[in-house]
Copies of this chain bind each other. A is one copy, B any other.
Amino acid sequence: MERSRIERALRGEEIDRPPIWFMRQAGRYLPEYRAVREKTTFLGLCRDPELAVEVTLQPVRRFGLDAAIIFSDILLPLDAMGRELRFLAGEGPSFPDPVRTAADVRSLKGLDPHRDLKEPLEAIRLAAARSPVPVLGFAGAPFTLACYLVEGGGSQDWIATKRFMTTEPAAFRDLLDRLADAVGAYLQAQIEAGAVAVQLFDTWAGTLSFDDYRSFALPAARRALSHVRGAPRIYFTKDASPFLHVLRETGADVIGLDWRTDMAHARTVLGDVPVQGNLDPIALFAPPDEIRRRVHAIIRAAGPRGHVMNLGHGIVPETPIEGVVAMVDAVKSWGV
């Protein structure tokens, strides 16, 4: 059986045009997603395999994308590890019982994804059976998960996280190790459930200084990815540039690039590792011709080998659907 376009690109093969998918491609910018979301809560949607598959496939059908990424949330494993996760309407995630001490870290339960994350794994199995294109899995990277767990939710400055990290580095490393092992097992289970590739999201690693990134977030991401076999592993951080020259140390097969990073420069620094990205998500608000010009500039800079087209971060809820259509059209008409 011939490999799909996305699998070939993730493995660094030369192809006529890059495959395309979008981070957060199933989401609030789609009216059909909002219609499903009206029936349930955000967590309810994540934990209902049938509904999760439905929203997973919505953008694939509407835009003819080259991959489906399973609809889920990076924080689900933390709830399974013993810290209750809540989503309050309009407020984002919160953990009422944050992790702030070495004893808190030791109190975390180990994760058995087959026991603790049955619903998202079932959703991947269903999606793999029903999707016209390959299905991708994902998880949050250890440092990014630690941020939410220590802070007790989102934050601008991550003060509690960094205070814990610099005050009790051994306990913080213990936390990262536990999260890395949990996330690694979860990604492996996703591949066994049918994901053809997995992405590790290290969204908040870019709040760290270079030294802290290399000392904490990077080894934890490497440890998580080291548990994963049998499918390409993509590593994404929202701020790749400060760390570009060390990102291969994560051991990832593919490096996701944020939109600030210059694609041509990244190719020079990274060498021949496949890359993913990296249009500015807000460029989708531009006129179609301008979107086309920008997409083609990225394809040209990335070259014909080992490039998966994507945004440099997730689609924002206000995004006009015409912008998404224009980007997909620009990719599909490349070289035609």
Q: A280: which B residues are within 8 A, CB to CB?
A: 162, 208-209, 212
Would you call the interface of chain A mostly helix, strand, loop, or mixed? helix
* Contact with A159, one of B167, B210, B279, B316 (Cβ below 8 angstroms): B316
Nearest-Cβ distance from residue A334 to partner chain B, whole angstroms: 18
- A242-B241, A242-B262 known; A209-B316 Cβ under 8 A: no
A282 touching B159, Cβ below 8 Å:
yes
A102 proximal to B (CB < 8 A) = no
Return the CB mask of A192-229 against B: 1 if under 8 Å, else 0. 00000000000000111111110000000000000000
Copy number in this complex?
Answer: 2
The reply on A286 being an interface residue by CB < 8 A is yes
Query: Smallest Cβ distance from A164 to chain B, in angstroms?
Result: 10
> How far does the Cβ of A217 sit from chain B's closest Cβ, in whole Å?
11
B242 A260 Cβ-Cβ under 8 A: yes
**Is residue A94 within 8 Å, beta carbon to beta carbon, of the partner chain?**
no
A281 vs B279: C-alpha distance when bound (angstroms):
30
Q: Which of B166, B206, B242, B260 contacts A210 (CB 8 A)?
A: B260
Q: Is A287 an interface residue (CB 8 A)?
A: yes
A158 CB-CB contact with B under 8 Å = yes
Query: Does A261 reach chain B (CB closer than 8 Å)?
Result: yes
B210 and A265 within 8 A (CB): yes
| A114 on the B face (CB < 8 A) | no
Known: A159-B318, A212-B280, A283-B166. A245 touches B265 (CB 8 A): yes
- Interface residue from B212, B213, B283 paired with A162 (Cβ < 8 Å): B283
With a cutoff of 8 Å between Cβ atoms, the chain B residues found around residue A297 in the complex are 211
Tell whether, in the assembled complex, residue A282 and residue B210 are in contact, meaning their CB atoms are under 8 Å apart: no
Q: Mark A145-159, 1 if CB is under 8 A from B, else 0.
A: 000000000000111
A291 and chain B: residue at smallest CB distance: B166
